[in-house]
Structure 1
Amino acid sequence: MHVPRAPERLVYGAAREVEIHPDRDALVHAAAEHVVALARAAVAARGVFTIALAGGATPRPVYERLAQPSFVGRIDWSRARIFFGDERCVPPDHPESNYRMAREALLDRVPIPAANVHRIAGEDEPEHAARAYERTLRACFGDVEGPPARSFDLVLLGMGDDGHTASLFPGAPAMNEARRWVVPSEIARPHPMWRITLTPVVIDAAAAVTFLVDGASKAERLAHVLEGRDGAERLPAARIAPTHGALRWMIDAEAASQLRGRS
């Protein structure tokens, strides 16, 4: 039986734990195991597992791995509640919909009740969709002023080559939001589009926040984020800082290629 090689581990300060996996497949497998472990622990402790899914190319194979026979039975999907970190303002069957990607890769392939999946209504007017999704989150985590005491068991995030995460882009007002949990955000690249995104107010209240990053195209920006190089404070991915939860970066060797702290 093939035994995966243990990842290289780095720690940046007290807050950022980094796992470097030898290749993309090893990263995908480890990320799927990570989701399983947190899901089982949450269900054992509280009877429910809440997760905010990320969009993008990196998480998709993780979702596909979780839907494989060797994984699917290891999570009690009847106890899982699925949310989304962000969504493009498109209908749910649109090729650019994060919900559609997650549905095709995972949700249609596991025994999860439809009522347990809470998608963002990207087809609605952006402000209306954001406020409606915030009401959904507040119904789950408590209708409080400011951040909840605790939000998700796990938030999965990716990182763009510009340092954005979810739909929190450099210079966007959403990064400085102190009260709202969900906001609309208009972005310019790769083409003008409205998106709906969770804000750090609710992301940072999660019990665990895990970034998944792969590929050489992310290496330079990732080094800025993790090592605090000049300008890192302007990068949304660098500013995610769970208040009480665990922050983990799971990356492959190509994404780690410009990190100075490697052995």
Structure 2
Amino acid sequence: MMLSISPTKKEAIHSIALHIVSLAKKNIAEKNAFTLVLSGGQTPEELYKLLAAPPFNEAVNWSKVFFFFGDERFVPPTDEESNYRMAAATLLTPLQIPPEQIFFIDTAVAINKAAELYQQKLKSFFGNSEMSFDLILLGLGENLHVASLFPHTAILHDTEPAVKAVKTDDKNAYRITMNAPLINKAKCIYFLVSGKNKASAIRQALKGPIDTDAFPVQLIKTPRVHWFIDKDAGTGL
């Protein structure tokens, strides 16, 4: 595990952007492709805008990057709550990424079918290879949820990599998410977290006693994790 603490949120976002570009260039040079799993939320939105602007938009051969989603709310792709809508507006459209490089979660079908189809889509992309992404971007909720892995939900006990439909306590909302075994197969995982309101969650995630039912982020325990946080989020460390 690596931890980078920047003085400000802006600097934390700039730091993770530099690492993403470096990792993308490395993978493209080595295997002519880079698989990137996007996350939702306000802080990633600022990151995506940065990546879509000079000099980052010219630093990567984006025609070799394939985009996926770690989770999605069960809403239409035009909905304000849609992770896809946000990523499309801030990153994918500005970079002119063609549809064949974007693997979004189809919410036009029943929710369990949406999860099943997305898992099939991932298996089809990787073929005979293991479903292991080059980089998964993640945030952290104040309740220590990650992707759509929420406290005290059945998906936290999964042992096999999968995409699942889940019901959350947030407005009785339904979501589709990668589970922890699938996330942990990633070659790299970058967390981006900012703000004093996340300081307690960061402290519990990194220093607190282990209770994966109460603190789902603790399920993400591959050593290939790099935390990018600002000073405010790190005040409890």
Shared fold per TM-score greater than 0.5: yes
Q: Deviations over 1:17-74 (max 9, x none)?
A: 1110100110111111111011101100111000100001111111000000211011
Identity within the alignment, %: 36
Match of 1:249 in 2: 227
Match of 2:95 in 1: 110
In 2 relative to 1, CA 18–233 (structure 1 residues): closer, same or farther, beyond 3 Å? farther
| Aligned with 1:49 (options 30, 34, 48) | 34
Which segments of 5 or more consecutive residues in structure 1 lack a partner in the other structure?
Answer: 1-15
The whole-number CA distance in structure 2 between the counterparts of 1:162 and 1:45 is 38
The whole-number CA distance in structure 2 between the counterparts of 1:140 and 1:82 is 11
Q: Which has the higher contact order (CA 8 A, sep 6+)?
A: 2
Whether the 8 Å CA contact 1:181–1:198 is kept in 2: the answer is: yes
| Aligned with 1:196 (options 176, 190, 195) | 176
Match of 1:182 in 2: 163
Whether the 8 Å CA contact 1:78–1:111 is kept in 2: the answer is: no
The whole-number CA distance in structure 2 between the counterparts of 1:82 and 1:91 is 19
The whole-number CA distance in structure 2 between the counterparts of 1:206 and 1:230 is 22
Report the 3-state secondary structure (helix = DSSP H, G, I; strand = E; otherwise coil) of the residue aligned with 2:78.
coil
Match of 1:151 in 2: 132
The whole-number CA distance in structure 2 between the counterparts of 1:167 and 1:232 is 14
Q: CA RMSD in A?
A: 1.5
Q: State the TM-score, normalizing by the size of structure 2.
A: 0.96
Match of 2:148 in 1: 167
Aligned partner of 1:166: which letter?
Answer: A
Which segments of 5 or more consecutive residues in structure 2 lack a partner in the other structure?
Answer: none
Question: How many positions carry a matched residue from both structures?
Answer: 237
The whole-number CA distance in structure 1 between the counterparts of 2:192 and 2:178 is 17
Whether the 8 Å CA contact 2:5–2:228 is kept in 1: the answer is: yes
- The 5 A counterparts of 1:227-242 are 227-229=207-209, 231=211, 234-242=214-222
> Is the counterpart of residue 72 in structure 1 residue 72 in structure 2?
no
Q: Which runs of 4+ in 1 moved over 4 A?
A: 230-233
Quote the offset at 1:231 in angstroms. 4.2
Whether the 8 Å CA contact 1:223–1:229 is kept in 2: the answer is: no
Quote the offset at 1:143 in angstroms. 5.5
Aligned partner of 1:250: which letter?
Answer: F
Whether the 8 Å CA contact 2:158–2:180 is kept in 1: the answer is: yes
The whole-number CA distance in structure 1 between the counterparts of 2:221 and 2:154 is 17
In 2 relative to 1, CA 52–230 (structure 1 residues): closer, same or farther, beyond 3 Å? closer
